[in-house]
A and B are shown apart, each in its own frame.
Chain A
Amino acid sequence: EAGVAQSPRYKIIEKRQSVAFWCNPISGHATLYWYQQILGQGPKLLIQFQNNGVVDDSQLPKDRFSAERLKGVDSTLKIQPAKLEDSAVYLCASSPPGRTPEWDGYTFGSGTRLTVV
């Protein structure tokens, strides 16, 4: 079974530029998540989609971050304009539909490492 695909793996941009990340979840996983992991910290949820609808975006800095999920499958996360503090690894994850605290095959991608200079 293919895992969660993310691209690019690495990106270096200057502050005030824009950048976009792409994620393709596991086939059949209705729920998709974007996490931000700053160096030395654990991942923090930015946004959660159920199919192509937003379930939770309470921690997404909406003045500069945006995300969409095309046709309930692939998703893109955009930052415009980027700040130095946006340097982090951006992880995408997906899980089957439903709400459970149990293990359900929730899978993370390898992440995109963003450096803003």
Chain B
Amino acid sequence: AQKITQTQPGMFVQEKEAVTLDCTYDTSDQSYGLFWYKQPSSGEMIFLIYQGSYDEQNATEGRYSLNFQKARKSANLVISASQLGDSAMYFCAMRERDTGNQFYFGTGTSLTVIP
């Protein structure tokens, strides 16, 4: 079974608008972390935001926020006030305490910001 599922292969958003990228996860571990990474065409994986499984508050980092719904096992990324530089691939990922430090990644969502 897939540990991370991203069902939106591609998304478009108007500049200055907000956009939500979906992510659902599957784990039986009680302690885990959820992450979002941005991958521009240059290839590097840029860390955006982290949410711990025991965190009660949704994580926020500048224009990024993570909508964490534990019971539904979802961890959606919200980007507010989209900018042209936000156009990139976005990956949802998870780390579990029981399986060491490796990341499990989804298949990604390609975001295009339209001027």
Contact = CB atoms under 8 A, between A and B. Distances in A.
A103 B107 contact: no
B44 A106 contact: no
A100 B93 contact: no
A2 to B, nearest CB: 14
A42 B91 contact: yes
B105 interface: yes
Interface residues of A, number: 28
A89 interface: yes
B43 A103 contact: no
A110 B44 contact: yes
Given A101-B33, A103-B35, A56 B44 contact: no
Interface in A35-89: 35, 40-45, 48, 55-56, 89
Contact of B52 (A41, A101, A113): A101
Interface string B73-103: 0000000000000000001011111001111
B43 A111 contact: yes
B107 A101 contact: no
* B-side interface size class: 20 to 34
Contact of B45 (A41, A45, A102, A108): A108
Contacts of B103: 35, 43, 45, 106
Nearest to B89: A42
A41 B89 CA distance: 11
23 contacts: A33-B101, A35-B103, A40-B107, A42-B91, A42-B93, A42-B106, A43-B103, A44-B105, A48-B100, A56-B100, A89-B43, A99-B97, A100-B101, A101-B31, A101-B33, A101-B52, A101-B94, A101-B95, A102-B33, A103-B50, A108-B44, A108-B45, A110-B44
